[in-house]
């Protein structure tokens, strides 16, 4: 790490991220979601009526806070660089794929770790896929895959996404133009100022220590470097302690909130996420941080995540959560339907084309 070389400090930073996640869960966010990047982008897309799934519509201030936190700290430390590179459509497509894979599993890599810390064995199964996906992406990197170099551009280019997100948040708070869920995960949230503060803290700490879930595995396989995994370990430990202390820990496959036990599709969904994240240069959280630092490339990837979320709910690509029977409704097995399974397979095939088909200069 460039500015932090102590694994103890890295573990501490991961612990701070865990404290923020635990507080957000304690104050009203869904318990085993806390601060899921994919879920919260999906909710925001729903609030802006890009999809009509009524139970997942709410502008999540945490997303705004993460981008702003990275922006503020990078400006303060003079790390802000407004840059743009090549392959914008590939970056956009990789964002779409990361979202499709995440909603097949029902969570991004960050939520995967949160669910693991709550005892959700389905998340441990998904970790297999995520690890294999990052390995495949790393092999592509070793074979010469690159999306091209980023170049400095006009400073205000990097201001656009943070500014847009602030406008969306203000519109959500001050007007009635945004949809808001009356039930389901979208109806469960912290007060706006707490959510925003939590996002700011999460963004600043993540920017400071370069948090990236895919990057942790990539660095392990490429360079035998454990730094980023140390951060993730600190986050996991604190979330585990929180769940054990609050009664939220349950070691099982069944009965987990907003989850399903279609193991093959949990593996393949997170395989696509890990693979795409390595090719894109970072997991969904890392893309938000880089966008806050001024990267237009990551802003394009964010747009892909956003559009991917809308596609998942408009076209039936997202998995359904399992649910027990009640007096008024039968049990729901949950998982992916045919359209979602086909979408995951197509995404994986596209990733192999992107990662391994030789470029003209390589032939």
Sketch the domain layout of the chain as residue ranges. 7-355
Q: Is the pLDDT of residue 282 over 90?
A: yes
Average pLDDT over residues 70-95: 95
Task: Give 244-255 pLDDT, tens digit per residue.
Answer: 999 999 999 999
Tokens 């979601």 map to which residue? 33
Per-residue pLDDT, averaged over 306-316, amounts to 97
Cα–Cα nearest to 72, from 173, 194, 206, 183 = 206
Tens digits of residue pLDDT in 152-201 = 998 889 999 999 999 999 999 999 899 999 999 999 999 999 999 999 99
Residues 140-151 have pLDDT tens digits of 999 999 999 999
Calculate the average pLDDT of the chain.
Answer: 94
Cα–Cα distance, 43 to 363 (Å, whole number):
43
- Statement: residue 3 has pLDDT above 70: no
pLDDT classification of 325: cutoffs 50, 70, 90: confident
Q: What is the reported pLDDT for 360? A: 59
State the pLDDT at residue 162: 97
Q: pLDDT category, 359, cuts 50, 70, 90? A: low
- Residue 324's pLDDT band, with cuts at 50, 70 and 90, is confident
- pTM beyond 0.85, yes or no: yes
Picking from 168, 185, 217, the residue whose alpha carbon sits closest to that of residue 68 is: 168
In what helix (H) or strand (E) does residue 235 lie, and over which residues does it extend?
helix 227-246
Q: Measured between alpha carbons, how far is 137 from 142 in angstroms, rounded to an integer?
A: 9
The share of the chain scoring above pLDDT 90, in percent, equals: 88
Nearest to residue 272, comparing CAs of 34, 9, 95? 95
- Report whether 40 contacts 108 (CB < 8 A): no
How far is residue 358 from each of residues 50, 90, 289, 363, measured CA to CA in Å? 36, 15, 30, 6
Q: In this structure, are residues 11 and 19 in contact, taking their beta carbons and an 8 Å threshold? A: no
Provide the pLDDT for residue 358: 76
Entry field: residues in the chain: 363
CA distances from 157 to 45, 160, 295 (A): 22, 6, 9
What percent of the chain stands above pLDDT 70?
A: 97
Q: How confident is the model at residue 361 (pLDDT cuts 50, 70, 90)?
A: low
297-309 mean pLDDT: 98
Mean pLDDT of 285-296: 97
Q: Where residue 81 falls among pLDDT bands split at 50, 70, 90?
A: very high
pLDDT confidence bin for 363, thresholds 50/70/90: very low
């Amino acid at each position: 790490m460039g500015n932090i070389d102590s694994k103890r400090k890295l573990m501490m930073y991961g612990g701070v991220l865990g404290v923020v996640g635990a507080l957000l869960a304690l104050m009203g966010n869904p318990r085993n979601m806390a601060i899921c990047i994919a879920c919260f982008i999906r909710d925001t897309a729903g609030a802006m009526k890009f999809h009509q799934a009524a139970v997942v519509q709410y502008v999540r201030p945490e997303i705004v806070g993460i981008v702003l936190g990275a922006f503020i700290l990078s400006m303060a430390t003079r790390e802000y660089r407004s840059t743009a590179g090549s392959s914008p459509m590939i970056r956009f497509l990789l964002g779409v794929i990361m979202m499709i894979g995440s909603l097949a599993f029902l969570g991004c890599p960050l939520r995967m770790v949160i669910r693991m810390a709550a005892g959700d064995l389905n998340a441990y199964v998904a970790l297999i896929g995520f690890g294999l996906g990052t390995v495949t992406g790393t092999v592509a990197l070793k074979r010469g895959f690159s999306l091209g170099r980023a170049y400095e551009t006009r400073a205000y280019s990097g201001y656009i996404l943070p500014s847009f997100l602030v406008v969306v948040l203000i519109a959500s708070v001050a007007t009635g133009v945004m949809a808001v869920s009356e039930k389901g995960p979208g109806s469960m949230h912290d007060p706006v100022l707490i959510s925003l503060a939590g996002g700011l803290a999460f963004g600043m700490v993540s920017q400071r220590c370069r948090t990236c879930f895919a990057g942790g595995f990539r660095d392990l396989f490429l360079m035998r470097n454990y730094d980023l995994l140390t951060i993730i370990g600190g986050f996991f430990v604190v979330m585990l302690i929180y769940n054990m202390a609050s009664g939220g820990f349950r070691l099982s496959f069944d009965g987990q909130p907003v989850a399903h036990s279609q193991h093959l599709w949990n593996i393949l969904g997170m395989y696509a996420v890990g693979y795409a994240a390595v090719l894109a240069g970072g997991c969904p959280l890392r893309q938000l941080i880089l966008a806050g630092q001024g990267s237009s490339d990551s802003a394009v990837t964010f747009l892909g995540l956003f559009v991917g979320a809308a596609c998942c709910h408009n076209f039936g690509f997202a998995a359904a959560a399992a649910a027990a029977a009640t007096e008024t409704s039968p049990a729901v097995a949950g998982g992916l339907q045919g359209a979602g399974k086909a979408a995951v397979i197509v995404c994986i095939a596209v990733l192999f084309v992107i990662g391994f088909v030789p470029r003209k200069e390589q032939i």
